[in-house]
Chains A and B, each alone.
Chain A
């Protein structure tokens, strides 16, 4: 778990902040990769 990993090296509040920033960064990368292509995304509506 990322938060626990950062907790080994930093205080809990700082570990929480770094975790949040790290996942925000990953999400931004993924969203850039997707090209915000909502149109290309289709739900499986059973």
Chain B
């Protein structure tokens, strides 16, 4: 059942219809029924794994004992360890990655962390399972958070205007996915760049491949997000935005605040702030954050290098902005020119991440052969 299918659309509207005609108190059951069936249909392995980890996390959060910190930390380590193991096995070709594992692993870690900090309101298992199996965001995010979800779940009500807004957003997402993504990038642009995309050697083809990949990723990924946000809005849920014109960012730090925002927010909350608090060195925290984002995409040397590359970029920008503070004139022409150059430099830095890390990765691998 893909997003672009009558089956998925029928599932969405059946879910909305059932939600509409049943009382609010049955909402969690409806969500688990539709979400659980959806996940099971897509991947029984993912459904089993999701259920197991969800039950473990739920009961860990309910423990109110002195050793809760140790138990919470062990659970996070276990969940993250299982995630890394699956990633490794999938990369080695021994196993198919359970669908949506990167998203539900991060949601579970968020849940356990918030539970440990005592920031969660009282809730039932069925409400938690409704959050974990929430099918609009299950496949491709955004990584929504439990407190917001719980508030929406308990207070949502039918609103024609909101429903229309959600429907509109979903249609925009479909149009972007089908017209711009599938036809524009995956058909027209792909055919136009056919020669360069199949070449495996050389810096030039790698740069062209990188432009293609970043464009394709942005258009498809933001389209998925729009569909997910639209469907969630129709059902009365607020889901965080994932993209805010990232290619217009004027520096690499801003780029990461505009690109896959729900993941960046998660990493800031659960990686950057704790690591910065422990080490008192923001640059180490930036490194840990960006490597985590790299590993989240793929557990490979190339993506670790990719994380290091972006961490170095952010660190270099922080140093540069401190050194150049107050150096440049602040007239309108200079500011406009500066903005244009900054956008171009940031874009070039992002595009070069793929060829640079690929070449360094190949160099390191050749050294050990």
**Which A residues are closer than 8 A to B by beta carbons?**
1-4, 12, 16, 19-20, 23, 26-27, 30-31, 33-34, 36-38, 40-41, 43-46
Task: Among A20, A31, A37, A44, point to the contact of B217 (Cβ < 8 A).
Answer: A44
Majority SS of interface residues in chain A?
helix
A2 touches B168 (CB 8 A): yes
B165 is an interface residue with CB less than 8 A from chain A: yes
Task: Among B165, B179, B296, B297, point to the contact of A30 (Cβ < 8 A).
Answer: B179
Give A31 to B2 CA distance when docked, in angstroms: 12
A27 touches B139 (CB 8 A): no
Using Cβ atoms and an 8 Å threshold, which residues of chain A touch B30? none
B259-303 at interface with A (beta carbon < 8 Å): 296-298
A3 touches B164 (CB 8 A): yes
Knowing A23-B168, A26-B171, A46-B296 are in contact, say whether A40-B182 is a contact too (CB < 8 A): yes
Using Cβ atoms and an 8 Å threshold, which residues of chain B touch A16? 160, 164
Using Cβ atoms and an 8 Å threshold, which residues of chain B touch A46? 102-103, 296-298
Tell me, rounded to whole Å, the shortest Cβ–Cβ distance linking B172 to chain A: 9
B316 is an interface residue with CB less than 8 A from chain A: no
Give A38 to B6 CA distance when docked, in angstroms: 10
B334 is an interface residue with CB less than 8 A from chain A: no
Using Cβ atoms and an 8 Å threshold, which residues of chain B touch A33? 178-179, 183
B359 is an interface residue with CB less than 8 A from chain A: no
Using Cβ atoms and an 8 Å threshold, which residues of chain A touch B103? 46
Knowing A27-B171, A30-B171, A30-B175 are in contact, say whether A1-B164 is a contact too (CB < 8 A): yes
Number of interface residues of B (CB under 8 A): 35
Using Cβ atoms and an 8 Å threshold, which residues of chain B touch A20? 167
Using Cβ atoms and an 8 Å threshold, which residues of chain A touch B139? 43
Using Cβ atoms and an 8 Å threshold, which residues of chain B touch A23? 167-168, 171
Contact pattern, B 126-168, Cβ under 8 Å of A = 1, otherwise 0: 0000000000000110000000000000000000110111011
A45 touches B220 (CB 8 A): no
A1 touches B161 (CB 8 A): yes
Using Cβ atoms and an 8 Å threshold, which residues of chain A touch B140? 43-44
Give A3 to B183 CA distance when docked, in angstroms: 29
Q: Which of B9, B103, B183 has the most CB of A within 10 A?
A: B183
A selection of 24 A-B contacts at a CB cut-off of 8 Å is A1-B164, A2-B164, A3-B161, A3-B164, A4-B161, A4-B164, A26-B171, A27-B171, A27-B174, A30-B171, A30-B175, A33-B179, A33-B183, A34-B4, A34-B182, A36-B5, A37-B4, A41-B4, A41-B182, A44-B217, A44-B220, A44-B221, A46-B102, A46-B296
Tell me, rounded to whole Å, the shortest Cβ–Cβ distance linking A5 to chain B: 9
B164 touches A27 (CB 8 A): no
